Chains A and B, each alone.
Chain A
């Protein structure tokens, strides 16, 4: 009925040669402008965010300067603010979580993509997506009621007994702390790693596998030496997605980390993370300097994420030049 007037524009060089007005009339130009606006809004939001964080933390930036990153006292009453314990806690918990989640997640993804029957793989994928959608506060509750008592009663004493000579596993076993937060974060980010890595592995062309097999490789050799390297960039992508989530996670971390701004070599020690302290103190921060220091912490978290993301890009570029597969077939 009303659609009879629609014409399908031909692709290729012809589209470029048409006049602006004909493109406008046919909708291409409109579509281009609208989607450009959408894309531009991403940049706009990022710029606005940085601007607001920068602007909102002026007081604390001027008062503390670079000391903000070097001192570890956080005292809202006497208005002394230092970010070091929070940066430390954020990095340590994220590292612990990735140390646990990366091998587990990639292992599971390899099984699901390469070895498991399609039906099993699809069913499990459903559950993994479900796990990824569980709100973080639920993971926090699980952490408090299951992980924390387990840590205090069994895991921490066992670690102390076997590896207690390392400074990592010393001190009293409270149950909460860096290690517990890292474990809960690992549980939260594993679904991301599995889900994305599985998709990437599944999209590796069949020819690659068949070529490897026809050269006499075993199934595992073809998976480990051909398919996984081919999908390397995507797998790294899934890890950095997980890292981003781990760095910014608030609710689940604050429930199990112990919320104490200290720097300790022991993973058993209670700690604090940037996102957790912002969430905890922002609403009741009465002094301007306190509020602005919290905003500056937000800026620090942003910069931290930015640096780690940049680092991630470099890593992908560096390894894909050296490796066999980069994704172009």
Chain B
């Protein structure tokens, strides 16, 4: 009996030590697209700072914005920046603002399945917008075949495939289409889910990829990371300088660098259709949403410490997971902005 009591005491003491050890726990919620990167970062950072634990739930960008606005999580994360109404709602509720911090970059790539065509296809802005608006319906349309000289494109109907669920990937794609096509901008617009003029909806990158693979004459978009990790073939896209660029980590970072010169102070910038000869045009930042004021100083310092680490050492983990690094200019600007978190 005594031995048992002693044992229990040891267990309790151990539990107490462990409890005290992980005393500081920070919670975040939001975007699913950077989740693999974030969970790697939080894990690595926890190894270095054993007394800090960051829990992140990838519930989607919309959910992240909602939860951080309601104050149920310490920080949020989103693939599309908060709009002015959302910022105002946050300001009204809390009496202070919320800051965007870009973390990594992602991109969408055009994927297709055209029988008899194995070469990488070149797509112009007009071709992509035309296909998604339902105006270009055949693969041998001059808008597609023009920049693909020498390829024998069939006269088959194009089957458009898009994401069915709301997603950051769709946000980037529709943001791009809104920039290169006025008709898309006024008729459809940009968002995590939109009213698609044509096409089939498939759930998740894997379903879009699967549908394209199984459906002859299909055309759709998937995340660059997904395409790289699954060795999917994808096409080149013409950028604003007129060059056909294939998406890879370097061309995505180049797009961010092109936009960095005109980076607004709140980092809410879209880098689709970015300037620069080597810039890949369908790229985007993904953001952490950090409140400008914390009532709890230890929490504030912990989050600031993490962001600082993420901008320095953290960036070294990105390429192993196929995310593109932030350009140096953006990192420098973010470090400055971090001082606004009080």
Contact = CB atoms under 8 A, between A and B. Distances in A.
A255 interface: yes
Interface string A242-265: 000000000000110011100000
Contact of B166 (A73, A276, A283): A283
Nearest to B210: A144
B201 interface: yes
B215 A75 contact: no
A284 B200 contact: no
A260 B200 contact: yes
B193 A259 contact: no
A155 to B, nearest CB: 15
Contacts of B60: 283-284
Q: Across chains A and B, which 7 residue pairs bring their CB atoms closest together, nearest first?
A: A284-B166, A259-B201, A259-B164, A283-B60, A77-B189, A75-B195, A280-B165
Range class of the B interface residue count: 20 to 34
Given A144-B207, A258-B200, A76 B194 contact: yes
A284 B193 contact: yes
- Interface range on chain A: under 10, 10 to 19, 20 to 34, or 35 or more? 20 to 34
A260 to B, nearest CB: 6
Contacts, number: 93
Interface string B52-77: 00000001111101100000000000
A181 to B, nearest CB: 12
B62 A283 contact: yes
Nearest to B199: A260
A77 B190 contact: yes
B154 interface: no
A281 B207 contact: no
Contacts of A80: 195
A284 B202 CA distance: 16
Given A258-B201, A283-B166, A284-B165, 5 more contacts: A77-B189, A144-B214, A148-B214, A175-B215, A283-B60
Contacts of B192: 76, 284-286
Given A77-B190, A281-B193, A149 B214 contact: yes
Interface of B: 59-63, 65-66, 86, 157, 159, 164-167, 188-196, 199-203, 207, 210-211, 214-215
Contacts of A76: 166, 191-195
A254 B165 CA distance: 10
Nearest to A73: B195
A78 B86 CA distance: 16
Contact of A284 (B61, B157, B196, B207): B61
Interface in A280-294: 280-281, 283-286
A175 B165 contact: no
A280 B200 contact: no
Interface string A106-117: 000000000000
Contact of A280 (B62, B157, B190, B203): B203
14 contacts: A73-B195, A76-B191, A76-B192, A78-B189, A172-B157, A174-B200, A259-B200, A259-B203, A276-B164, A281-B166, A284-B63, A286-B65, A286-B66, A286-B86
A270 interface: yes
Interface string A149-178: 100100000000000000000001011100
